[in-house]
Amino acid sequence: MRQKVITDKFVQIQGDYRAIVHSPYALIPPIFASDENTCCSEWNTAMEKLTGWRWEEVIGNMASPSDGRHGVLIF
C-alpha cells in the first residue's frame, strides 16, 4: 500500500513537472537537459521557439557542433 502511494505521488509530481516545463506561456524560460552520454533528454516549447529545433528532432540525440541555425548545438 505504501509503495503505491509513493508511486502515485511520483507520477503526479512528474506530470506537474512536465506540464510546467512544456508550458507554452512566455514566463517559462527555454529549458534543455542532457543525460550522462550528452544526449538531449529535455527540450521545452521555449527552446523550440528560441532555436527552431522541434522536440522530436533533438530528444535522444547527441549534441554536436553548431550548424549555424541560431548558433545552437545540432542534434
Q: What is the pLDDT along the chain (75 residues), one digit of tens a residue?
A: 888 888 888 888 887 777 777 666 667 888 888 888 888 998 998 899 898 999 899 999 886 655 555 444 544
Helical (H) or strand (E) element with 56:
helix 55-58
Question: Residue 7 — left, alpha, or beta (φ > 0 → left; ψ -120 to 50 → alpha)?
Answer: alpha
3-class secondary structure, 31: coil
Helical (H) or strand (E) element with 33:
strand 32-34
pTM of the predicted protein model: 0.58
Q: What is the distance between the alpha carbons of residues 25 and 67, in angstroms, rounded to a whole number?
A: 28
